[in-house]
Amino acid sequence: MSKALGTGRTALVVGCGGDQDARMATGRSRWGARASRTLHAPEGQSVAFVELFFDLVFVFAVTQVTTVTAEHLDLVGVGRAVLIFWLVWWAWTQFTWTLNPADTRHVVVQVFTLVATAAAFVMASSVSLAFGDEALWFAIPYVAVRLLGLGLQLRIANAGDPDGAPRSSRHVIAWVGMSTLGLVAVLAGALVDTPARAWIWVGAIVLDLLAAAIAGSSDDPWDITAGHLAERHGLFVIIAIGESLIIAGTAAADTSRSLDLIGLAGAGLVVVGLLWWSYFAWFKDDLEAAFAETAPAERGAFARDAYSLAHFPLVGGIVGFAIAADLMVLHPTDSVDGPTLAALGAGTSLFMGATVFSYWRLRRQVLLPRLAITLAASAALTLVVGTRPVVPLTIVAAGLAAVAFAERDRLPGLNGFGTGSRGAPAPRGASQPQEPPSSLNDHSG
């Protein structure tokens, strides 16, 4: 009997081992299939968690730019902040273009993105060092993020379509080549002292713009999904708006409670809500619908202008508002000074003005009420220098509310949205606006 039991135990062990080997083989097979499939995204892919993770780190970088600017709110400080912010923004927007046609479930794409996220975190935490003696702590991880994005972009372009059909990559090669020159300029600038560093980094920005101009004018169409690109920019905007609240809330936590603070906080929350409304109530979806209607050969140029370039001042406007809100909350009873008012007025003007330009670029229509009311509100701020902070915030809130009222006919479900000269709204689909929860319910990455 002992022999039989021993044989049974042996058989049991062998059987369990066989099952375990089978499971391991199945796992390896699935992993291999996942790693070996094309890098190109399947049709209708929405934003994945790995992209949101990447975005959060870059919004942290924008927050660091906000902090540095608030501490040096003069012409030199603002000029340096614009340079740093451009580099941060361009690294993000380049990677956004890289991931747009990429299969974000593919292990190679996920590894590239996570490594780039780690490098971006080092870059973001070194924003304050960019114009100091330790500028390489900012420049090297910045270059690393860009090179990872450019390398992955080349791999995806050479991988072809999901069905294996080849796709021209000449425009991507031209873009990568010119962009590499800009990266060399960033490293060179980090090795010299200011003001030479600032001028060399201006040269790097010019090279970035030349790269975008050359790539956008190519006859080869860019592989861009409208819904995905619009969703990435929308998510970045909403996270940046949320970060502005966090900055103001952090300042409020260290300020004694008073009626002035309560009134200021209330006015600030109204402004933030109206900024959200001006972008998400109808504008984002209508802009995306117009982008989806563009011809494939022109889509690269439209994406560059209406999204990558126009959203730079738009997010910069959020930075300006966050700076003003931070300074006001810290001193709710003091008279507001010129630099703080300038940050508030420039911030709201940049935000709203960028939406006007984006819309004109895609729809060839000027949002006249939005433009006129924003300019009038910004001009009114020049009359309230020396007043309590709640006064200029109330003026901005009133201006944004007036814009919302003037554009009420554009809201979904009301007369004017998707009708008239623009035609009826197209059905929802891969190239049309997706509901925000779609990206959060996508467990792919």
198, 223, 248 - which closes a domain? 223
Q: Kindly state whether residues 249 and 370 are assigned to the same domain.
A: yes
Task: Count the domains in the chain.
Answer: 2
Q: So what's the pLDDT on residue 247? A: 83
> The domain that contains 275 carries what CATH number?
1.20.1410
Range of the domain at 303: 226-417
pLDDT at 377: 96
Among 180-184, 357-361, 441-445, the minimum mean pLDDT is found in 441-445
**pLDDT-based confidence at 303, cuts 50/70/90?**
very high
Residue from 46, 45, 43, 91 nearest 65 by CA: 91
pLDDT at 285 over 70: yes
Q: Is the per-residue pLDDT at 188 higher than 90?
A: yes
Q: Which of 185, 208, 223 is the endpoint of a domain?
A: 223
pTM flag (> 0.85): no
pLDDT tens per residue across span 64-78:
999 999 999 999 999
Q: Is the pLDDT of residue 208 over 60?
A: yes
Domain boundary (170, 196, 223) is at 223
Q: Could you tell me the two tokens for 373?
A: 């009311």
pLDDT confidence of 22, banded at 50, 70, 90? very low
Radius of gyration of the chain, Cα coordinates, nearest whole angstrom = 25
Q: What is the pLDDT of residue 19?
A: 53
Q: How far apart are CA 8 and CA 394, in angstroms?
A: 83
Q: Are residues 114 and 247 in the same domain?
A: no
> Does any domain span residue 436?
no
Encode 147-167 in three state secondary structure: HHHHHHHHHHHHHCCCCCCCC
Please tell me the total number of residues recorded for the chain in this structure.
445
In a domain, 313, yes or no: yes
77-86, 169-178, 217-226, 418-427: which has the highest mean pLDDT?
A: 77-86
212 and 291 both lie in a single domain: no
404 with 277: CB under 8 angstroms? yes
Is 80 exceeded by the pLDDT of residue 431? no
Query: Are 139 and 280 contained in the same domain?
Result: no
pLDDT over 70 at 25, yes or no: no
Torsion angle of alpha carbons 185, 191, 195, 201, nearest 10°?
Answer: 20
Residues 198 and 236 in one domain: no
The per-residue pLDDT for range 132-152, each reduced to its tens digit, is: 999 999 999 999 999 999 999
395 falls within a domain = yes
Q: Note whether 72 and 187 are same-domain residues.
A: yes
383/236 same-domain check: yes
- For 312, residues 6+ apart whose C-beta sits below 8 A from its C-beta are 85, 86, 89, 93, 354
Q: Which of 203, 223, 246 is nearest to 156 (CA)?
A: 223
CA distance 323 to 346: 11
Better pLDDT: 16 or 329: 329
* Residues 93 and 161 placed together within one structural domain of the fold: yes
Q: Is residue 431 part of a domain?
A: no
Task: Name which residue leads in pLDDT, 366 or 417.
Answer: 366
Query: Residue 420 pLDDT more than 50?
Result: no
Mean pLDDT for the stretch of residues 234-243: 94
Rounded to an integer, the average pLDDT of 352-360 is: 98
Average pLDDT of the chain to the nearest whole number: 84
Let me know whether 141 and 235 are in one domain: no
In a domain, 296, yes or no: yes
The verdict on residue 60 lying in a domain is yes
- Looking at residue 430, its pLDDT comes to 39
- Which of 32-36, 405-409, 411-415 reaches the highest mean pLDDT? 405-409
Supply the DSSP string of 306-343, one letter for each residue: IIIITHHHHHHHHHHHHHHHHHHHHSTTSPP-HHHHHH
Q: How many helices (H) and strands (E) does the chain have?
A: 16, 0
Same domain flag for 279 and 399: yes
Same domain, 125 and 204: yes
* DSSP assignment letter at 428: P
Q: Are residues 156 and 61 in the same domain?
A: yes
Distance CA 27, CA 339 (A): 60
pLDDT one-digit tens code per residue, 363-395 = 999 999 999 999 999 999 999 998 999 999 999
Q: What is the pLDDT of residues 97-111, one digit of tens each?
A: 999 999 999 999 999
In 3-state terms the chain splits into helix, strand, coil percentages (rounded to 5) of 75, 0, 25
Which H/E stretch holds residue 274? helix 259-280
Q: What is the DSSP string of 204-242?
A: HHHHHHHHHHHHHT-SSPP---HHHHHHHHHHHHHHHHH
Phi, psi of 73 (to 5 degrees): -85, 65
